[in-house]
Amino acid sequence: MAVTFPRGFVAGTASCGIKAFTAGATAIPSGQQKDLCVVQSERVCDTGGVFTTNKVKSASVVIDHLHLQHNRVQALVVNSGNANACTGAQGFKDALLMAKITADHLDLDPDQVLVSSTGVIGRYMPMDAVKSGIISACANMDAAHGLDAAHAIMTTDSKPKLAELGVDLGGVQVRIGGMCKGSGMIHPNMATMLAYITTDAAVEPGLMASMVKAVADQSFNQVTVDGDSSTNDTFLMLANGAAGNKPVGSGSPEAGVLQGAMLEVAQRLARSIARDGEGATKLLTVRVAGAASRDDARLAARTVASSSLVKTAIHGGDPNWGRIVCALGYSGAEMAIDRLHLSIGGLTVFERGAGVAVDLGAVRAVFEQPEIEIVATLGMGDGASEAWGCDLSEEYVRINADYTT
């Protein structure tokens, strides 16, 4: 299941009370009080990671940067309920201690452990609880606990987020599994999102690091829920080689296949985040084609998917294509209004510089579906990309007005 679907990965979880220490009662779905997980590989993993671009970084993000430099990671420890951000020197000590306790109980070195935290900013970690949670999780590691791990990393998520895929790599079937969390504060720069993709593929050292940015750019960085980006965002890819295939080298055909499969898992996870945006009732997919470049396409797609006015229109089932055109216009992507072609759910609503007389009732019916696809063809080149978002509902406001420090 999820990160333990690939061979050679096990996980353990604990309910150690971190969420009870720090989060408002309304923010945590009842029955989801698991708040810590440990994931371990039987072998050293080739590991790549990308992290938040926020200038304020959680202690765990800084520690992970350091530990990744040695590229001998074999375990993760993740807690939810407390972000360990804006916690000064104490925060660094606590993050290092989390790595050390985990390493001690799994017979590893501390720099073989990566640490992630998510939750409320600005509170010190309740380290007694965290310590007992790590000990408890490490005492109960099992390949069957992948789903539990996905539960343990949730904060305002309404459900655990998983994806799995098998792929043939030079005649050997390798497995890829992933889990993530994130609903509010999700933005192109991966705000308050944690994502982990594991594979049992054997790869040459450094391959995961060379792939992780490209995978993130076409998946998690195209998810947008509310425009904020957080202190703790983390995306890690770990390959442990348990499948026994010939190690995949950079630039090989197998590397392309593997990267495509990792991207597919990442995109499934990214869409699950968009679908689970705080208060979201609809998944919005924005496809942009014909952009002057892929970067332009990414920018345009993200901008439409994150427009508050587009998001509220979608929530209201309002076929307000003017807001989509407007968002494309301020996205910064090159465009010319007379070349734009715009469709909503397959219905052309705008072309040749003006709106098309369509049956507004049909457009409205499209907007009332749980999944809505907007396709914008810019006519400027051959750049293409997509982005995912959700509607903006009254419920979003309620959740975030009440979620307490």
Residues in region 291-330 near a second copy by CB under 8 A: 306-309, 312-313, 315-323, 325-330
Q: Write out the binding residues for a second copy, residues 136-195 only, by CB under 8 A.
A: 184-185, 187, 189, 191
Q: In which element (H, E) is residue 128 found?
A: helix 127-138
Question: Does residue 397 belong to the site contacting a second copy (CB under 8 A)?
Answer: yes
Question: Does residue 357 belong to the site contacting a second copy (CB under 8 A)?
Answer: no
Of the two residues 8 and 184, which places its CB atom closer to a second copy in the complex? Answer: 184
Question: Does residue 216 belong to the site contacting a second copy (CB under 8 A)?
Answer: no
Of the two residues 116 and 320, which places its CB atom closer to a second copy in the complex? Answer: 320
Question: Does residue 380 belong to the site contacting a second copy (CB under 8 A)?
Answer: no
In the bound complex, what is the minimum distance in angstroms from residue 380's beta carbon to a second copy? Answer: 11
CA angle 244, 250, 252 (to 5 degrees): 80
**CA–CA distance, 232 with 377 (Å, rounded to integer):** 35
Concatenated DSSP letters of 187-238: -TT-TT-EEEEEE---B-TTHHHHHHHHHHHTTGGGB-SSS---S--EEEEE
Question: Does residue 361 belong to the site contacting a second copy (CB under 8 A)?
Answer: no
In the bound complex, what is the minimum distance in angstroms from residue 306's beta carbon to a second copy? Answer: 8
Of the two residues 258 and 325, which places its CB atom closer to a second copy in the complex? Answer: 325
Catalytic residues: 192
Say if residue 9 is exposed, middle or buried (CB neighbours under 10 Å; 0-12, 13-18, 19+).
Answer: buried
CA angle 321, 325, 331 (to 5 degrees): 140
In the bound complex, what is the minimum distance in angstroms from residue 87's beta carbon to a second copy? Answer: 6
Q: Tokens standing for 248? A: 């995949």
Amino acid at 73: V
Concatenated DSSP letters of 2-35: GGGSSTTEEEEEE--SHHHHHS-GGGS-TT----
Q: Which stretch binds a second copy (CB under 8 A): 99-107, 195-203, 267-275, 388-396?
A: 388-396
Do the Cβ atoms of 49 and 212 come closer than 8 Å?
yes
**CA–CA distance, 250 with 232 (Å, rounded to integer):** 29
Q: Tokens standing for 380? A: 């400027």
Q: Write out the binding residues for a second copy, residues 88-107 only, by CB under 8 A.
A: 88-91
Of the two residues 31 and 361, which places its CB atom closer to a second copy in the complex? Answer: 361
Question: Does residue 362 belong to the site contacting a second copy (CB under 8 A)?
Answer: no
Of the two residues 214 and 336, which places its CB atom closer to a second copy in the complex? Answer: 336
Answer for which of 28, 121, 134, 242 binds a second copy (CB under 8 A) is 121
From residue 8 to residue 47, what is the string marking binding to a second copy with x (rule CB under 8 A)?
Answer: ----------------------------------------
Of the two residues 138 and 284, which places its CB atom closer to a second copy in the complex? Answer: 284
For the chain, give the longest Cα–Cα distance: 68
